[in-house]
Structure 1
Amino acid sequence: MLTTYYHPGYAAPIGQHIMPIRKFSLVADGLRDAPGIKLTRPEPVTESDLQRVHTAEYIAAIKTGEPRDLAQSQKFPWSPELFPSVCLTNGGCLAAARQALRDGASAALVSGFHHACADHGEGFCTFNGLVIAIDALVASGEIRSAAVLDMDLHYGNGTAQLAESRPYLFNLSLYGNDFWDNFCYRDVSERHHADGANHVSFSLPAGCDRKALFAIMDQALPQLAERKPDVILYQAGADPYFEDPYSPLALDHDDLRSRDRRVFEFAKAHRIPIAWVLAGGYTSDVSKVVRVHLNTFEAWREVYGC
Structure 2
Amino acid sequence: MLKIAYDTIYAHPLPEGHRFPMLKYELIPLQLKHEGVITDENLFTPEICNEQWVLLSHDAAYWTKLKNLNLSYQEEKRTGFPLSAQLVERELRIAQGTINCCHYAIKYGVAFNVAGGTHHAGSNWGEGFCLLNDQAIAANYLLANNLASSILIIDLDVHQGNGTAQIFENNPKVFTFSVHGEKNFPFRKEKSDLDISLPDGVRDDEYLSIINQHLPLLFQKVKPDFVFFLSGVDVLETDKLGKLALSLKACQQRDQLVFQQCYQRKIPVQVSMGGGYSADIKVIVDAHCNTFKTANQIYF
TM-score normalised by structure 1 residue count: 0.90
Report the CA distance shift for 1:303/1:204 in structure 2 as closer, same or farther (over 3 A): farther
Does the alignment pair 1:53 with 2:54?
no
Contact 1:19 1:124 in 2 (8 A): no
* Aligned partner of 2:177 among 148, 172, 176: 172
Equivalent position of 2:219 in the other structure:
224
Report the CA distance shift for 1:178/1:53 in structure 2 as closer, same or farther (over 3 A): farther
Report the CA distance shift for 1:18/1:216 in structure 2 as closer, same or farther (over 3 A): farther
Equivalent position of 1:285 in the other structure:
280
Report the CA distance shift for 1:177/1:110 in structure 2 as closer, same or farther (over 3 A): farther
Q: CA deviation at 1:27?
A: 0.6
Alignment partners' CA distance in 2, 1:178 and 1:151? 15
Report the CA distance shift for 1:194/1:88 in structure 2 as closer, same or farther (over 3 A): closer
Equivalent position of 1:188 in the other structure:
none
Equivalent position of 1:295 in the other structure:
290
Q: CA deviation at 1:138?
A: 1.0
Equivalent position of 1:215 in the other structure:
209
Equivalent position of 1:205 in the other structure:
199
Alignment partners' CA distance in 1, 2:225 and 2:47? 23
Higher helix share: 2
Letter in 1 for 2:17: Q
1:106-165 CA-to-partner distances (Å, cap 9, x unmatched) read: 111112110101111111111011110011111111111211100000011111111112
Q: CA deviation at 1:303?
A: 2.2
Equivalent position of 1:31 in the other structure:
32
Letter in 2 for 1:163: F
Where structure 1 has 5 or more consecutive residues not aligned to the other structure, the ranges are 186-190
1:101-120 aligned at under 5 Å gives the runs 101-120=106-125
1:92-103 aligned at under 5 Å gives the runs 92-103=97-108
1:189-246 CA-to-partner distances (Å, cap 9, x unmatched) read: xx9x5746xx101122322122101211122212133211111110000100101112
SS class of match (1:250): coil
Letter in 2 for 1:135: N
Equivalent position of 1:81 in the other structure:
86
Alignment partners' CA distance in 2, 1:71 and 1:39? 32
Alignment partners' CA distance in 2, 1:128 and 1:15? 24
SS class of match (2:224): coil
Contact 1:14 1:76 in 2 (8 A): no
Report the CA distance shift for 1:87/1:264 in structure 2 as closer, same or farther (over 3 A): same
Contact 1:116 1:122 in 2 (8 A): yes
SS class of match (1:49): helix
Aligned pair count reads 294
Alignment partners' CA distance in 1, 2:292 and 2:226? 18
Q: CA deviation at 1:19?
A: 6.2
Alignment partners' CA distance in 1, 2:100 and 2:77? 26
1:139-150 aligned at under 5 Å gives the runs 139-150=144-155
Q: CA deviation at 1:174?
A: 1.0
Report the CA distance shift for 1:36/1:284 in structure 2 as closer, same or farther (over 3 A): closer
TM-score normalised by structure 2 residue count: 0.92
Q: CA deviation at 1:72?
A: 4.6
SS class of match (2:195): strand
Where structure 2 has 5 or more consecutive residues not aligned to the other structure, the ranges are none
SS class of match (1:21): helix
Letter in 2 for 1:210: D
Report sequence identity in percent.
30
Letter in 1 for 2:59: T
Report the CA distance shift for 1:49/1:178 in structure 2 as closer, same or farther (over 3 A): farther
Greater CA drift, 78-87 or 31-40:
31-40
SS class of match (1:265): helix
